[in-house]
Amino acid sequence: MSTSPGSHIEVLLDEQSWREARDAGVRSGLAATPPELSPVWFYDERGSNLFDDITRLPEYYQTRAERRLLRDHADDLAALDIETLVELGSGTSDKTVEILGALEGAGSLRTYVPFDVSEATLRDAIAKLGAQFPTLAFHGIVGDFHQHLGQIPTAGRTLVAFLGGTIGNLRPAERGRFVDDLASAMDDDDLLLIGIDLLKDPTVIVAAYDDAAGVTAAFNRNSLVVLDRELGADFDPEDFDHIARWNEDEGWIEMRLRARRPGPATSAALDLVIDLREGEDLLTEISAKFTPDRFAAELGAHGFRADQTWISEGDEFALVVARRCR
């Protein structure tokens, strides 16, 4: 599939180094208490399709709320006078159409920089968006935002978007390092657009991660399918129950896989054996929830000032526009 004439893709991620870091993360994660796996293991083709299905579930409010906010605040986005849009974890860039339409309509936008770990996904997204926005230049970055934020290309006033509430998947110290790295990569007066899931009734949050149709359960178990295939492991996904648990002390939801029976699991590629007890959990994801004031304070401690906060109907989700400041 060809990309648009004004596009190119820059590969920063060394696949061998990335795999080594990923595999080291499996070793350290499975040795933790409780054992844990990175959310990276959710995503193969089936996992991506399952997540797309999740975003359309009645219980999963986040995607709908964020897209409504992007549409409702198109004029506010247009008024930002942005020349370069960078999107971290861009994936298929489906939601980006709302932002691109608003910014291009204002006449200032010149370049879109999607940033993702998958080169194939970037190529597909750029080809699709290039047909919709033929006047834009596209500069895809294949990278890991834990390593390559300092190499984000900027030209003119830049808006860095980090959508989907993904910031909540990072623990507090990791969030702080991430925002520090962003602040170092951005120029004064550049802007950050970030989606956050808001603190609310825990029963609503838990339902979003444990839907009645069992789609999220299949998505969670798929991490073991991917692990088995990629690392020669022998987890049986059907030996694990999907658990969604609200952690009141930490203010985040946890997704876990709970062993139905005791027994060892091995990984031939890592020469690793893990003994699981019946009822023992593998932690597969956290997703922190925020109040607007708390999140603004976090940004303020790491080089940003929250200028605008747009909150969805029902106080479900928010988009925060923050300014890089010293």
Q: What is the pLDDT of residues 124-173, one digit of tens each?
A: 999 999 999 999 999 999 998 888 999 988 889 999 999 999 999 999 99
pLDDT per residue over 58-83, tens digit each?
999 999 999 999 999 999 999 999 99
Q: Determine the 3-state secondary structure of 179 from DSSP.
A: helix
Q: Which pTM does this prediction carry?
A: 0.93
Res. 5 pLDDT band, cuts 50 70 90: very low
**Please, what is the Cα angle at 260 between 259 and 262, to 5 degrees?**
75
What CATH superfamily is the domain 7-15+55-201+290-324?
A: Vaccinia Virus protein VP39 (3.40.50.150)
Strands (E), the chain: 7-11, 84-88, 111-116, 137-142, 158-162, 191-197, 240-247, 252-259, 263-267, 272-276, 281-288, 304-311, 317-324
- Picking from 140, 169, 137, 173, the residue whose alpha carbon sits closest to that of residue 156 is 137
Domain ranges of the chain: 7-15+55-201+290-324, 37-54+202-288
